[in-house]
Amino acid sequence: MAGFRLTCGILAFLISILYGAAQTGANNNSIDLEIQSGEAAIRQGQFAEAKQHFERAESLGGLNSPEINAGIAIAELQTDHYEAARQREAKVLELVSTDHERAEAHNLIGTAWLRESAQSTASADMLRSAEESFRRAIKLDPVFDTAYFNLGNALLRQHRDEEGAAAFRNCIEAAAKNPAYEQDLPLAPQALAPAFTVTDSEGRIVSSDSLRGRFVLLDYWATWCGPCIRALPLMRQLAHYFPPSQFTVISVNENSPDQKLWRKFIAEQKMDWIQVWDKNAEIYHNFGLAPRPDLSIPRYVLLDGNGFVRRIYNGTDRLGLVVGQIARTVAAVPKPPQEPPRQPSSPAPQSADRQ
C-alpha cells in the first residue's frame, strides 16, 4: 500500500506539472493572440481597441513584456495620453536589452513630449525634454533616422532653424546607412516613364526630355495632405542634398483646381525647388498611380537618368525608407563630368507664361 500511495503521489505530482504546463502553454497562446490582435489594431488605426488587446495580454501574464508595454505606450500616445505613454516607455527601458530598443523607447518618450507641447502653455520645457529624448535615442543608435527627423521638428519648433536643417540632413544620411532599408536594393529600372511637359511656379518649362541624365524624384502632394506637410522639411533638404546635375526634386501639387492656394503656400513655406501644379491631375494619372478620379498621396516616384521608373513609394512607406533608398541609389551612380561654364552667345529666352 505504501508503494501504491507513493506511486499515486508521484502520478498526482506529474499530473499537476503537466496540467500547469498545459495552462502555461494555453496562457502563452492567448498572450500571443492578444499581442497579434493589438498589433493589427494599431496598423488599422484602432488604438483604443489595440490598448484593450495589449492589456488583456498583460493580465494573462505579460506584465514584464517589453513588447506589451511598448504596444500600450503606442496606443496611449495615439489617444493623446502622453504621460501614460511616457510611463509605459520608462518601464520598457527597464526591460529591454539592446541599444536600438532603448533608442526606440527614448524616441517615443520624446514624441509624447513633442506632441503634448503643441497643446500646453509649458511648451518650451516640453520641447527641451523632447529634444533631450531624441538626442539620447540618436546616441544609442546613430542610424535611427526617425529620431533625427523628430529632433529636426523639435528644433524647428524652438525656432532653431539651422540646427533643425542639419538634423534633417543627418536624417537622410542615417537613412542611407540604415540596414533596415537594404531590402530590394539596388533599385532596378522598371517601365519607361510617361513623357510630360509642364510649367513650374516660376514660369519655366520643365519636360521629361530636359531632365535626362539625372535622377528625378516626383513628389506628389497637396496642402490638405497631413503626411505631405510633415514630410516638407525633409523634402527641402533632400532637394538640395545632391548637385542639380545629379538629382532633382519636383514637387507636383494636386490642389486642383485652386492655384492661388498652392502659390500662397509655397511662397510662405519657401519651397525653393521645382514646384509644378498638376492641372486635372494629368501627370499623376498618366503615371497610373490611381484610377481616375481618385488620388492617393503622398506618392514618390523615382526616375533615373534614362527616364525609367526605378521605384514608386506609397504614403504608407516609411519616410526614412523613401529618402534612404533614394539617397543610396543616387550616390551609387558615378557623377557626370563637370563642364566648364560657358558664356551665353545670345540673350536667355524669356520664361513661358504661367498657367
CA distance 22 to 235: 54
pLDDT digit string (tens) for 164-174?
999 999 999 99
Q: In terms of Cα–Cα distance, which of 154, 142, 145 is closest to 112?
A: 154
What pLDDT digit, counting tens, does each position of 89-133 carry?
999 999 999 999 999 999 999 999 999 999 877 789 999 999 999
What's the mean pLDDT when you consider all of the chain? 88
Q: Go through the domains of the chain in sequence order and give each one's CATH number.
A: 25-181 (1.25.40.10), 197-331 (3.40.30.10)
Residues 250-260 have pLDDT tens digits of 999 998 787 88
Quick one: how far is CA 51 from the chain centroid? 23
Q: Which amino acid is at 85?
A: A
Q: Residue 58 to residues 69, 76, 97, 275, 324: CA-CA distances in angstroms?
A: 8, 15, 20, 50, 36
Mean pLDDT (10-residue bins), the chain, 355 residues? 49 48 60 91 93 92 87 95 97 96 97 93 92 98 97 96 97 96 92 95 94 97 94 97 96 88 93 94 94 92 97 93 97 69 39 33
pLDDT of residue 63: 77
